[in-house]
Structure 1
Amino acid sequence: MVNSFVVLRDIIENNALTLNDLLSKFEFPAIQELSNSNLIEESKGVVSVTEEGLAKMKPFKVDNAIIMAAGMGSRFVPYSYYIPKGLIEVNDVPLVERQIIQFRDAGIENIYIIVGYMGKQFEYLAKKYDVKIIQNLDFATKNNISSLYYANKEGILGNSYLTPSDIYIEDNVFHQYEYHSWYATKYFEGKVSEWGIECDDTGLINNVSKSAVNQEAMYGTAFLSKSFTKVLAEKIVDLYEDESFSQWYWEDVYIKFMNELRLYSNLSAGESVLEFECYEELREFDTSYCKNARNPLLDIICKELDCSLSDIHGITPLKVGMTNDSFKFTVKDADYVFRVAGEGTDVLIDRYAEAKSYEAIQHLNISDEIIYFDPKKGIKIAKYIKNAKQFTEEDIEVMIGTIRKLHESDIEVEHKFDVNERIEYYFNLCESNEAKYYPGLLDHYDKIREIRDYVDANHNELCFCHIDPIVLNFVWSDDKHHLLDWEYSAISDPYLDLAMIVLFSYLPVNETDELLRLYLEEEPNEYQNALLYAYCSLVGVLWALWTQYKETRGETYGTYGIDQFKWSELYYDEFVKVTKVG
């Protein structure tokens, strides 16, 4: 049937073929068999498919195309900060538009785009191409298994093409009819991070590995038959609420249930697929990007480092922080880090104050070396610290010594960090954005009023503080240590720095007492313990409210916010024990 299917499909898609045209493509016996079975006929020199032939092909008719565009494309920095990867232009056409055009050229009318990250930017496509937009509400917490989940909820899974929005397909590989489920595959030399496959003699995939080594690998687009998507959808629904599967791709589900899901390799389709993993690959393929980056951050690099776009190499996203994004890059053999202000941080952080802090600490020589700082946009370029190694809890004495040195430095700046004022400010942000509070948080917010009054009346002498001296912000470089990320730094109570360490590391009370002893270099008294406990409780509420506000903007931080709240309750109880307040 496969040979007959291909001949029938070719005749349908090319409706003016002559017998000679067919003979130039296919063996005569295959054509003769179709004619003898009354599946094709010739009239006035043109071969066409009969009604009986069309009925034979009906089960193989493609129902729709589903384009997955919900992902963040985080590897494709710095473009992904401003635009979904699927909307990046290649040869003057956005990647997703090229796919839509190819589907339409193949006769696929029903096209769905599943969006999530920056989803509104795709909305123009509905009017321009008459496609339907489907929202993936779980894109931030789940992998592309969630896009198939929402496709199933919409009832659109059938004989469906399934393709990511961010691939470039050179030659159109789509058709009105498909015989069986397939995945585009490509042969790779060496080891690559693609799904490596093994097939039987018919092309049926019978083994999949997490990487490919000198072999074919799954690459890009796929066609899934109605029987395939029915089983796949059932499995996804069964697994969906289990958090252990949240970071699965739909391909993981296929692999888990391969014995029930038959998928074939399509090597010819894979040869037409290109995927750009980074700006340099895009620039190599579309040379217009050598002159016009279409990205403001790359333009800033060229201006501030006096270089051309072709001088920029090795762009790599760094581990995403809770407040900002950053990427590493190389220009003329020197490495740098570009910090980009996170979404919504304009209402959380005073970048002009941050700039003043960097100026104030410059003589201490403990921070990263700033090359460029734009306080209006919250972006900065710094020298990359080579051979950097993260601090661990074992380096606590060095951390405390560094913080003590900072507190004794007599640095003066005009801006202050008043924890009570910040708590009130974050609470008002939550209120104005209709935050859904953790159970008990509002009651606890009212209860800590006495602690807020206590620190106002009993705080230490104020000094310049880092405000976020957590273990992740300390790094070793050879024999020297650095303290990074000074965006919250200001004049404040030195105990606030200690409380930040406690709450980030979730230190129990006995370790908090030891931390204070290290800082004071003597045994603390009850008054000193009580004040630190008070700040620990306030810091927990501060970051819980900070998280609640960020969650109103669609960001997720797992259990961080509620954990901060719970630790705040713990240190409130400790404060009450010592002071007999409450």
Structure 2
Amino acid sequence: MINQAVILAAGLSEEFGRPVGFLKIPEGTIIERILNLLEENGIKDILVIAGYESEYYEALAKERGFKIIKNPKYKWTGTMSSLAYAKDFVKEDFILIESDIVFEERALWEIIDSAFKNCMVVTTESGSGDEAFVDIREEKIFKMSKDKHQLNKIDGEMIGICKISHEVYGKMLEEFKLNKNPYLNYEYVLMDVSKDNPVGYVKVDDLIWGEIDHKEHYDNMVNYVFPKLKIKEKEVKEAILKGYIIEALNVKDEDIKDLKKLGGLTNRNYKFTMNGENYVLRAPGTGSNEIVNRKDEKYNSEQIAKSDIDSHIIYFNEYSGVKIAKFIENAETFTGESAKKEENMVLSANILKKLHTSGAKFKNTFDTFDKIEEYEALLKKVGGEFFEDYQDIKKKVFAFKELLEDLDSELVACHNDALAENFVKGADRLYLIDWEYSGMNDAMWDLAAYSLECKFSKLDEELFLNIYFNGEPEEKYKKRILIYKICQDIFWSIWSAIKEAQGDDMGSYTIDRYNRGKKNLEVFYSL
């Protein structure tokens, strides 16, 4: 799974008076398109190496949350110098993209899915006049040059998108220590170390793309290349999505009507019509199948289907994660604010109670303390820092393990991701959707999560719990809910610290959740 990307954007572009990445295209700017494509494909830890007019990137970084690294010598150095400035921030294998190219999304799909740990996207020669030609032998890149006279044969050109392993990046940095030519570009250093670390390729012969070095390139991109690119992207995406539906339901292409994107955080969701009925197709986001156990999700979803809690699922592929369900008509998705209405509290409390008392036996168990240990290990792996008093806080939190047993904690079917957005009010009833994190757990975890995520006040929570319990809840339930609030704040603060260690700007989220967890610890021990 690829989580990190480096965008090379330091180059001088005085002809435009701004970085090439900030040139306008019909759907925004070039850099915004690159960022959107990366994020839509599960890559959120993004490093941008800036130089010329770097204030453009600084402003955008505040809005989008990526990491800025400056190359102060951008006027006198090549791309390898820029890439070397990322050495303290690259923690794993990554995608490398040059900021002056516009390309079809499938170029990114191909390189992310490639079995090669080190590879580049190659396509048919463009005739741009600045091609980096490649000679391919034995399924590897044998040689590369911008001078076609240096190659025995030409198999295409690289377009400026590579996948580089953390190991090979380290070897590139070692090679660069010997540098006496500051104008050296990264692709030649990659080839220098390829003798012991072969560089593969993914070739997309009919790829629509373009590089922008000067105004003529830019005009050609806006007027000719980009319109064709968008048509091609739409056709390719629609063909892939329809392919999922055709394979799943054994229908014909012409049976599928009005395919439209809905959205989704981890996955891509699409509405379509078939035989006069509306459905939702879930196409898993890149890398999501490595985070979510789809076999458990499928099994758990099948158990829930018996209780009329979620919408009716008509297809679920436990290997690909593709799911098709009936579309919820006239849907209203809850927000943290709308969840505070008493009528909506009744609906959400009742559907959670229905789940918890359903008798459903999920395939997996969601263990609070195992999850904290798991995320702690991940934080160590990415070189993140723990809070100064973390070990003391952790010791107090883990003391809850035995206490929960004394408070009659028991395992029941739980959703475990009780965000307001997962509660959808239809014309007939409320639906609880998205069972990716479902598992056997204490029902109080869901109640704690819903209260936290909806930002319930003390009075809001009191009303919600009175509805759920049909009156004042026993003290043991209140204590368990408070314990799980503490656990969730500590758990999510570690998750946020991981994201920060990977370069994301999480604002005050990390420390806010950690401090709230500590404050509730004090409240608990004062009871």
TM-score range, shorter chain: 0.5 to 0.7
1:363 and 2:333 aligned: no
Shift of 1:501: 0.6
Task: Summarize the Cα distance change of 1:550–1:368 in structure 2 as closer, same or farther, 3 Å threshold.
Answer: farther
The 1:571–1:360 alpha-carbon spacing in structure 2 relative to 1, beyond 3 Å, is same
For the pair 1:307 / 2:235, whether they are aligned, the reply is no
- C-alpha offsets along residues 283-322 of structure 1, whole Å, 9 cap, x if unaligned? 3xxxxx69x94x4x5432221122344554544333332x
Cα RMSD, aligned residues only: 4.9
Corresponding position of 2:378: 429
* Aligned twin of 1:501: 450
Specify whether residues 278 and 419 from structure 1 end up closer, same or farther in structure 2 by C-alpha distance, changes over 3 A only. farther
Instruction: Give 1:536's aligned residue.
Output: 485
Where in structure 2 are the equivalents of 1:444-459 lying within 5 Å? 444-459=393-408
Structure 1 gap ranges (5+): 1-59, 112-123, 136-153, 157-165, 185-218, 222-269, 284-288
> Structure 1: how far apart are the matches of 2:415 and 2:393?
27
Q: Secondary structure at the match of 1:424?
A: helix
Partner residue in 2 for 1:405: 354
What residue identity is the alignment partner of 2:424?
V
Give the residue type in structure 2 aligned to 1:377. S
| AA partner of residue 376 (structure 2) | F
- Hey, what does 1:460 align to over in structure 2? 409
Q: Name the CA shift for 1:540/1:282 in 2 (closer, same or farther; >3 Å).
A: closer
Give 1:39-50 correspondences, 5 Å limit: none
- Give the equivalent residue in structure 2 for 1:472: 421
| Shift in alpha-carbon separation, 1:98–1:569, aligned structure 2, 3 A | same
- Verify the 8 A CA contact 2:104 2:208 in the aligned structure 1: no
- Report the TM-score, using the length of structure 1 for normalisation: 0.53
Structure 1 counterpart of 2:271: 328
* Matches for 1:251-266 after TM superposition, within 5 Å: none
- What's the CA shift for 1:389? 0.9
Post-superposition CA distance 1:122-179 (Å, at most 9, x none) = xx999854776799xxxxxxxxxxxxxxxxxx9x9xxxxxxxxx9968xx9999887x
- Kindly provide the amino acid, as one letter, of the partner of residue 274 in structure 1: P
Quote the residue 1:349 is aligned against: 292
For 1:15, the equivalent position in structure 2 comes to: none
Q: Which secondary structure does the structure 1 equivalent of 2:425 belong to?
A: strand
- Cα distance in 2 for partners of 1:310, 1:338 equals 17
Structure with higher RCO (Cα < 8 A, 6+ apart):
2
Query: Where do residues 89-108 of structure 1 align in structure 2 (5 Å cutoff)?
Result: 101-104=126-129
Amino acid at match of 2:264: V
Task: Note if contact 1:315-1:329 (Cα within 8 Å) is conserved in structure 2.
Answer: yes
Number of aligned residues: 377
1:474 CA drift (Å): 0.9
TM-score (normalizing by structure 2) = 0.58
CA offsets, 1:30-68, max 9 Å, x none? xxxxxxxxxxxxxxxxxxxxxxxxxxxxxx999999578
Say yes or no: does 1:486 pair with 2:435: yes
Q: Which amino acid aligns with 2:418?
A: P
| Partner residue in 2 for 1:144 | none
Per-residue Cα deviation, 1:8-33 (whole angstroms, up to 9, x for no partner): xxxxxxxxxxxxxxxxxxxxxxxxxx
Secondary structure of 2:364's partner?
Answer: coil
Residue 63 to residue 537, structure 1, CA distance change in 2 (3 Å): closer
Match of 1:274 among 203, 206, 227: 227
Distance 1:352 1:273, change over 3 A: closer
Distance 1:547 1:328, change over 3 A: farther
Are residues 130 and 519 of structure 1, via their aligned partners in 2, closer, same or farther at CA, if it must alter by over 3 Å? Answer: closer
Q: 1:576 Cα shift?
A: 1.7
Whether the aligned pair in 1 keeps the contact of 2:416 and 2:438 (CA below 8 Å) is yes
Secondary structure of the residue aligned to 2:306 is helix
CA distance in structure 2 between the partners assigned to 1:550 and 1:343 by the alignment: 18
1:372 aligns with 2:315: yes
- Structure 1 residue 329: Cα displacement: 3.5
Q: Contact 1:167 / 1:220 at 8 angstroms: preserved in 2?
A: no
Alignment of 1:5-404 (within 5 A): 71=32, 86-87=103-104, 101-104=126-129, 129=157, 184=219, 221=222, 270=223, 274-277=227-230, 282-283=234-235, 293=239, 295=240, 297-309=241-253, 311-321=255-265, 323-346=266-289, 348-391=291-334, 392-393=338-339, 394=341, 395-404=344-353
Determine the C-alpha separation between the residues in 1 that align with 2:456 and 2:402.
24
Separation in 1, partners of 2:452, 2:261: 27
Go from structure 1 to structure 2 and tell me whether the alpha carbon gap of 1:380 and 1:298 turns closer, same or farther (over 3 Å shift): same
* Structure 1 residues 318 and 574: CA distance shift in structure 2, 3 A: farther
Counterparts in 2 of 1:552 and 1:272: CA distance versus 1, 3 Å: closer
Conserved in 2, the CA contact under 8 Å of 1:77 and 1:316? Answer: no
Q: Distance in 2 between matches of 1:557 and 1:325?
A: 24
In structure 1, how many angstroms separate the alpha carbons of the residues matched to 2:124 and 2:287? Answer: 33
Residue 256 of structure 1: aligned partner: none
Mapped contact 1:76–1:278 kept (Cα < 8 A): no
User: Deviation per CA, 1:401-456, whole angstroms, max 9, x where unpaired?
Assistant: 11112222222234222212222222223333433446655553344222334224
Give the share of equivalent positions with the same residue, in percent.
25
